[in-house]
Amino acid sequence: MDKLSSWSLILGIALASCTGSAEPVVEDGTKESSQRDSLRYNGEDHFSGFRQLTYGGDNAEAYWSFGNDKLVFQANNPSWGTGCDQIFTLELDDEFTPTSVPPSQISSGLGRTTCAYFMPGDTSVVFASTHLADTLCPAVPPRGPKGEYVWPIYEGYDIFTYDLDGNMQSQLTDLPGYDAEATVSPKGDRMVFTSTRSGDLELYTCNIDGTDVIQVTDELGYDGGAFFSPDGSQLIWRASRPKTAEEVMHYQTLLDKGLVEPTAMELFIGNADGSNARQLTDLGGANWAPFFHPSGTKILFSSNHHTGGFPFNIFMINTDGSGLKQISFDSAFDSFPMFSPDGKRLAFSSNRNNGRTRNTNVFVVNWVE
């Protein structure tokens, strides 16, 4: 479904059993440095100045404001009164501790929400919600008969904009089926989202007011989790491409049930109008949550191709498919790497420092080239 905090939630039981064997780096003897660097593992040379922003629950998909000073993210934290994923904002100037008050909630608490992104001007955000279809949290589907892990594609999702005080401003989609996963171009003129309006999970772009909808992809398979390049000219996204008759039938049978199996996905890149689309990775496993490096010539993404299961770590690859490099070295789960618009910092979600619980938290680091 979304980009996707529920992945880490479902994986939580297995992740909680990890040994945490990655060794932290401690660079000097000060208390502040020790606390900061205990979050950074050997090999994580692109990270410095760790900050943990959330403590407890399931927190993910933290996306930056255009002004580099706020994050909007989805969270399910029972201590904050959530029944399922809701949308929150954080001010980066605030202090964050395990006893901090909950951040500001934007969504109403009705239905399930996902994939919030700041709109130009940083006074409103766009996200998907099921609240018009049902005010209750939709059910999480069980695993398949062989234990297969699936994402739900809730038909009740539509895309809305809200101001930062939680007031709905507009509804951008109203067609039957799934509309979600919206992100906004750094240029502030277009957004991209995933929809089932064609009968398959495809990418679409539109103006930020929801007009001028253009279909971008048309191959069978799940296309989602798309982001624009820094200059707005390209898109990077994750996709499945069932090929054999058996794979096609399996994909379509799940989709008819409102489900998709995300265990085999690769990254695709193309122009924002859908032209020159091509497969970027051929690694096997689940390759997802891609985001452009500030240069526009590299991609950060999360993958388990190196393990076939756990852990998930952050990797970087050139846009021509060369130069694959591992960036994070957690023993559990790192994903959703998102650069600040000024390119100086990286937000991501991780199971590190969670006390061997199922908690996934948001972290921010300075990016070191």
The pLDDT assigned to 353 comes to 94
Q: Minimal CA–CA distance to 3: which of 332, 265, 318, 205?
A: 265
The pLDDT assigned to 143 comes to 80
- Distance, CA of 290 to CA of 313 (rounded, Å): 12
The pLDDT assigned to 303 comes to 98
Q: Could you give the domains of the chain? A: 5-367 (2.120.10.30)
Give the tokens for residue 54. Answer: 């959330």
The pLDDT assigned to 201 comes to 98
The pLDDT assigned to 14 comes to 36
Q: Which residues of the chain register pLDDT less than 50? A: 1-21, 26-34
The pLDDT assigned to 35 comes to 52
Q: Minimal CA–CA distance to 339: which of 288, 278, 298, 283?
A: 298
Per-residue CA distances from 24 to 20, 45, 196, 264 (Å): 10, 12, 44, 31
- Distance, CA of 190 to CA of 185 (rounded, Å): 6
Tell me: the pLDDT tens digits for 204-234? 999 999 999 999 999 999 999 999 999 999 9
**135 and 110 Cβ atoms separated by less than 8 Å:** yes
Specify the length of the chain in residues.
Answer: 369
Say what the pTM is.
Answer: 0.92
b/e per residue, 94-107, with b = 16+ CB within 10 A?
eebeeeeeebebbb
DSSP state for residue 31 in the 8-state scheme: H
Burial category of 13 from C-beta neighbours within 10 Å (exposed 0-12, middle 13-18, buried 19 and up) = exposed
Strand pairing class (158-163; 151-152): unpaired
Tell me: the pLDDT tens digits for 287-323? 999 999 999 999 999 999 998 778 999 999 999 999 9
b/e per residue, 199-211, with b = 16+ CB within 10 A?
ebbbbbbbebebe
The pLDDT assigned to 145 comes to 66
Residue 162 parent element (H or E): strand 158-163
| Residues in contact with 340: Cβ distance below 8 Å, sequence separation at least 6, in sequence order | 64, 68, 346, 347
